[in-house]
A and B are shown apart, each in its own frame.
Chain A
Amino acid sequence: MAVNLPRRPLSRRRGRRGSFWTHLVLSLAVLVVASPLLFALIKATQTGAQVVGPSLAPGLHFLENARAAWVGAGLGQYMFNSAVVAVCVTVGKTVLSLLAALAFVYFRFPLKGALFAAVLFALMLPTELLIVALFDLVSGTLKWANSYAAIIVPFLASATGVLLFRQHFMNIPASLSDAARIDGAGPLTFLSKVLIPMSWNTIGALAVIQFVSAWDQYLWPLVIMQSADKQVIQVGLSKLIDVESQTSWGAVMAGAILALVPPVLVFTVLQEQFSKGFALGQDK
């Protein structure tokens, strides 16, 4: 994470003594925070017999465990499904909230305040609360329980996205949109040629949050998805454990690590936009 701080002049002695304790506390914290994942990494490389034993020596069997999870337990398919869902939701949310923010900031129209309030109020209606009625709607009325649509379409609108883009657009000088209009550019040209190039940090920050939260979906896919070959990774992974008697923990740990790769990747690629996008969002 690129968080650069101004160097503060500290008195030498206090600095050195203080930094010993700082290092000690931080190293311990990092060790404690990392230990569950380290443990998973080690166990994912061991043979079946070692995994259930006390040994904490890394082995050379990661590929075997990963293959058992990927092919044997169908994790490959689950990962693919989650990727499709997370990408569609992230792209859809970004496009829809850019358009909505464009309307809210650059147009004057009746009921604007009420509509904005309606978008904001949706923040208070998470899927978990609506789940019973939403289940009835999506599986009963729409009959989507066997398709990706069930886990994509309900999540395409984003109140957070509209809010952040609106805030960001308001900070862009109005003279730019005046100039664009005088030059004969329509709102969509203005959006694609001016606003989007000026919004990459906000888009990136939002994309990280939306990708991670779409990838992490668990409760909704668990109840709605009827066909196993379209299930998402979070639910698929937990199915590996459901086989109560003989859980192959090596494969489960390998699967957990594989399931972590996409969000970590997205986070790593967009980390600069992520921190900048939020630094901007903060000082309002």
Chain B
Amino acid sequence: MSLVRPTPKSRAVRAKAIRSQEARAEAAAAQEHATFRGRWLPWLFLLPTLLVLAVFSYYPAARTLRLSVFRANLIVGNEQYVGLQNFAELLSSPVYHQVIVQTLIFVALVVVLGLTFALSLAWLASKPIAGAKFYRLMLIYPYALSPAIAGTLWLFLFNPEIGAVNTLLDALIGVKPRWLDNPFLAFALVVVASVWKGLGYNVVFYLAAIQNIPGDVMEAAEIDGASAWQSFWRVAFPLLSPMTFFLVFTNIVTSLFDSFGLVNILTRGGPVYGETGITTFLVYQLYEDGFRNFKTGAAATQAVLMLLLVVCIVAMQFRYGNRKVHYGA
């Protein structure tokens, strides 16, 4: 194992070599596994999956692309071709600009805070201490919470009149903030609730990754006189970086899409700040336009823009996620 930082070039060459090696190994494995004969059999096995994907993913995706160039209302049933006008309107709308910016801030905060807490707590709970199993279990259970239930609990917890938080704050320092009416507080609340809801998932994966760190590597660091801080940052953290990559991308996608249930119950996109509600994120705006304002074309356009965003994220994951840190021979 070498802790010497490779130069970017040598790293790229090595990564490429490893990748082509992996690709070759994978191709070979695919060849040797293909044992069964049958012309129609594989198609028969694939048919159910392909059928469901074609009808319920690809066909709606194509329809969405088409709708994005129409001014349409599916409820009334009228359509009028408008070219790229929907895109132009959306991209020049101050409301949509604000929605994009606050979504990006929300996602960044949830990913950074969520992963920081999850990694620190998973690291501590992996230490050989009494009750570690109990701690691990208690940190994992929020995984079972749905966004809607999380929203319900927080709505009651932060109710200005009867919520436990304000009861406590009132008794201690005599303040009763109106959590869901103040834009800053409401935004912070949605961020914290999302971090809390995502904690279980992130902790599960970090615990598994920490468990996979070879024990002798950590021992070697300790024998070499590394402090606990050094062995975490210099040894464990780089070894965990593939998992961190994976979690960064899954968390981005989850906070983009799964935030809907939480927001719809907790804040309903509000309170208004600037051009629109401060917790109106991209998915919520899409829902509002598609099913409240019945601007089907505009909603489809937003879906196309979000798809582009997701494609960019996935492309980045393929570009950078494969650059795993490799140790050993």
Q: Which residues of A contact B (CB under 8 A)?
A: 1, 3-10, 14, 18-19, 22-23, 25-26, 29-30, 33-34, 36-37, 39-40, 43, 51-54, 56, 96-97, 99-100, 102-109, 112, 115, 118-119, 122-126, 128-137, 140, 153-159, 162, 169-170, 174, 177-178, 180-181, 186-187, 190, 212, 215-216, 218-219, 222-223, 234-235, 237-238, 241, 249, 252-253, 256, 259-260, 263-264, 267, 274-275, 278-279, 282-283
Contact = CB atoms under 8 A, between A and B. Distances in A.
A107 B52 contact: no
B235 interface: no
Contacts of A10: 128, 222
What is the interface residue range for chain B against chain A?
Answer: 35 or more
Contact of A234 (B127, B149, B157, B286): B149
Nearest to A179: B35
Contact of B171 (A54, A124, A223): A54
A234 B148 contact: yes
14 contacts: A18-B127, A23-B129, A26-B135, A29-B117, A53-B162, A105-B33, A106-B36, A133-B59, A133-B63, A135-B74, A137-B59, A170-B33, A215-B146, A218-B264
Contact of A115 (B50, B52, B135, B164): B50
Contacts, number: 303
B300 A133 contact: yes
Interface secondary structure of B, over-half rule: helix
Contacts of B109: none
B157 A36 contact: yes
B48 A99 contact: yes
B153 A39 contact: yes
B149 A99 contact: no
A177 B307 contact: no
Interface string B33-56: 111101101110110111011011
B303 interface: yes
B42 A156 contact: no
A107 B36 contact: yes
Contacts of B48: 96, 99-100, 156-157
B164 A39 contact: yes
B42 A212 contact: no
A142 B266 CA distance: 33
A263 B144 contact: yes
A282 B153 contact: no
A104 B59 CA distance: 23
A52 B160 CA distance: 11
A283 B15 CA distance: 17
A220 B311 CA distance: 22
Given A99-B49, A131-B286, A33 B36 contact: no
Contacts of B261: 216, 218-219, 234
B96 interface: no
Given A7-B128, A8-B219, A216-B147, A252 B199 contact: no
A170 B141 CA distance: 32
